[in-house]
Structures are given as structure tokens and as C-alpha cells.
Amino acid sequence: MILKETVDGSIEVYHPWGEWTDSKPLALFTESIVTMLTRPSAHQAFVDLVSLMGQTFPISAPAMYVNLNELGTSIYSVLDPKDGGTRDTNRMLEKMENKGNYSYFKVKIGGHPPVLKERVDMAIIQKTRASVLLSINSGTHEYIFRDWVKILAPAMTKLIDNEQLKNMAFSDSLTGLFNHRAFEQMLAVECDRVFRYGDTFSLIMLDIDWFKDVNDRYGHQAGDRVLRAVADKIKESVRKSDMVFRYGGEEFMVIMPHTGLSNALKLAERIRRNIERMSIIPGHKLTLSQGLTQYKVGLSPSDLVRKADIALYEAKNKGKNRIEVE
């Protein structure tokens, strides 16, 4: 309900959802607004919004396509990639003229798997630096979702603006990676998640070997060029679900959700090989040392960082350009 003052000074009551009396649309509208106002991040808000839509109207098979220039494209869909999700994604990415990487988040809603049919797309936000589109099956409560888009657009715009401001605070200006502050927060969130659900994850601490020599011999501009190139190569080497951070100086961190030591070691070796093959400064061989550890019940975020640091120290002491596990 919104109160508006009219020209003659009287107060007019305005219901943004018009004449809806059916409990399902009303519940969807109100709970969606609450979701956007209360979730700690835009990512969690979009997951919960798609879950809410999918549980309320499962045959609509909703998907949200979120493109934030600084953060890339994220897709939140009740459709499994194998059962229509990939087809819908390709169609939408072409429509959005997005040829870059994207992250796909399958949202579980229970019941029978949703079926992809002819789709209807609705723009919630379309700005230079951000766009949010909703895609649903044609003919399935389409009129309800059109009202939903109108009602949610202002709150979603605010959510996106806040997320972009947060991203500026959490980004390393030199490399574009998440920064130390972001690492501390995301590591704490990941520790809490795996503790709650009995999952695991692994952590890599990486350090550029002989980086001081680069600055001393070639200057700090060359050092910055190396840092940017290494950051890009690490990000290119990991999976879409992994999170890469500039921890400080020439040190980086990688959080690998749902990953045990065996797979984490393979990924660390891929990073090591890819860095070793790089040629940034003629005549200078670039390598990384890495310390790897896996979450175990009872370990705090600081415990994990300490274990990764111990492993990294071992890698440095044993000749560099290697991976050690703690």
C-alpha cells in the first residue's frame, strides 16, 4: 500500500498490485519485495526470487538473466542446463548481445522438473551498466509476472545500485580481482556454508616467485604489468564457481567450493603450468609457489589461512614453482 498526497491536499491510497485478490499473486508480490530488502547480497536475492517464483508458479519455469558490467553475467534458473536451460541461456545471451563468460545457478524448487516451452521475456532493468531480464514460459500466468516486473523494478534498481557500490569497495583497483576485504568476508561465508551443510572446500594461497627482483630490475610499472597478467591467468585457469582474490602485494587466494584436495591439487597444477608458460618480460621466467589446504570441521577462517600460509612457506623453501599441501 502506498499513500499519495493529491493536488487538493487529500491523501489517496494506492495499491501497486492493482485489484489482485488471489492469494498466490499477492504472496508473490509481497514476499518478493521482502526478499530484496532483506537479503545480504544481490546474488542471494536473485536465488531466492527465482525460487519463490518457481515454487509459486512452477509451470512458468522462471529464469533471471542478470548482467552487471563489472561482475559479468549471472543466470538464475529453475531449468536444468541439460533439460532446456542451456537452450534458453543461448537464446537470451544472443538477445543481450553477450558473448562473454557467464555463471549458471540452478535453483531447486522440488516437485516435477520444469519443462521449457515457448518463452516470453520481460525487461526489469535496462541501463548502460546493468540489465535484468525475466524469462518465463508463454501463456503461464504471464499477466501476473508483468505486474510483478512493474512492482519490483524500483526495489531491484536499488538492489543493483547497492551491489555495484559494494563491488567497488570489494575490488582491487590494479587487477580487478576481489580484494583482501572481500576475501575475509567470503571465506567466512564459505566456512559457515560448509559447516551447515556438511560440504567441503579448498583454499590456495599463491605467491609470485622472485617478484621483488621484477620491481628492482624492471621498475614498478613492469611489476604492475606482471600482477595484472598473473591475475588474469589465474582467473582464466580456474572454474566459474571458484573465487580469486588479490590478498596483498604479490599474493593471491583462490577459494574452491565443493572441492576436495585431489581436485584442488589438479587445479593448482593447472595454474602453475599456465603461469610458467607465460612470457611477460623478455628473459625473465615467471613462476608461482602455492600452499593448498582443505576445510575440516572445526577450522576457523584464520585457521585455514594459517594452514595455507604454512604450506606456501614450505613450497618457497623447497625450491619455489611448486605446490605444497598442509
Nearest to 254 by CA among 298, 316, 304, 314: 304
Active site (annotated) includes residue 314: no
Locus of grid cell 599463491:
206
Other CB atoms within a 10 A radius of the CB of residue 104 amount to 17
**Residues 94, 98, 104, 109: is their CA dihedral positive or negative?**
negative
C-alpha cell read off for 298: 572445526
C-alpha cell read off for 58: 512452477
Locus of grid cell 559447516:
195
Burial class (CB in 10 A: 0-12, 13-18, 19+), 14: exposed
Other CB atoms within a 10 A radius of the CB of residue 31 amount to 15
**260: phi then psi, degrees, rounded to nearest 5:** -85, 180
Do 15 and 1 meet the contact criterion of CB atoms below 8 Å apart?
Answer: yes
CA pair distance 123, 159, nearest whole angstrom: 16
Strands 2-5 and 11-14: antiparallel
Q: Which of 163, 190, 250, 324 is catalytic?
A: 250
Catalytic positions: 250
